[in-house]
Amino acid sequence: MRVAFNKPNEELPLYCDSIGYHWPQPPIQRSNGYYAYHWLQTETGTGIVTINHQRMVLGPKQGVLFRPRIAHDYHPKDGHNWQTAFLSFNGTLCDQLADFLNLKDFIYIDRVSPELASFISESFNDFNSSNVAAMLDQSVELYKFMVLLRQNKLLKNRHYQDQLIAMPIISYISKHYAETISNEQLAKITKYSITY
């Protein structure tokens, strides 16, 4: 599935350029990069990504975020099928959020969190409308995506046990942030004591 958007008539903090998942990824070569921020993650198969003469393998549950206009190319490894999910976006807040992520030319994530891995497929329908109200909601969703990238980056170097506790809590809070959340609820989610 794929949906492509044009740049909105008015400036927005964040807007979606294109989004897709279960995409049979063909080879792509962009000597001048892409004009928007571009996230690419592997669903199945394996791809080879080259950025600034750095070559990396992009396997299942791995992803890369490209800064705009950074030369890159990617293709399926050994000609096999490579299925990807992608999200490209831009807006007036993108550069500040890129600083928040400490984004240089790209960020490579070797273990995408479950929340980040499912973001595109779960949010896909939210990006099917181009009216002004929907685009403002989309801006909020894109901000959430950037926060998930940041959380994924912060958690990637933590101990495995920390991830077993932190990721379910982060997921629960992101889904129930408008409700009152107690330590008792979080303890039930993690199966650890409140004190722990």
User: Residue 3: pLDDT band by 50, 70, 90 thresholds?
Assistant: low
Closest CA to 16 of 155, 111, 163, 119: 119
Q: How far apart are CA 136 and CA 125, in angstroms?
A: 14
- Tokens (6 digits) for 153: 């980056």
Q: How far apart are CA 97 and CA 113, in angstroms?
A: 19
Q: How far apart are CA 172 and CA 187, in angstroms?
A: 11
User: Residue 134: pLDDT band by 50, 70, 90 thresholds?
Assistant: confident
Q: How far apart are CA 79 and CA 75, in angstroms?
A: 8
Average pLDDT over residues 67-89: 94
Residue that wins the pLDDT comparison between 57 and 10: 57
Q: What is the chain's mean pLDDT, rounded? A: 87
pLDDT of amino acid 48: 96
pLDDT of amino acid 9: 65
Tell which phi-psi region holds residue 79, choosing left (phi > 0), alpha (psi between -120 and 50) or beta: left
Average pLDDT over residues 22-42: 95
Residue that wins the pLDDT comparison between 92 and 164: 92
Average pLDDT over residues 182-193: 84
135-186 pLDDT, tens digit each: 888 999 999 999 999 888 765 544 445 566 777 888 888 888 888 888 888 8
Average pLDDT over residues 81-109: 92
117-132 pLDDT, tens digit each: 999 999 998 888 777 7
Q: Burial level of 36, CB count in 10 A (0-12/13-18/19+)? A: buried
Closest CA to 54 of 42, 66, 43: 66
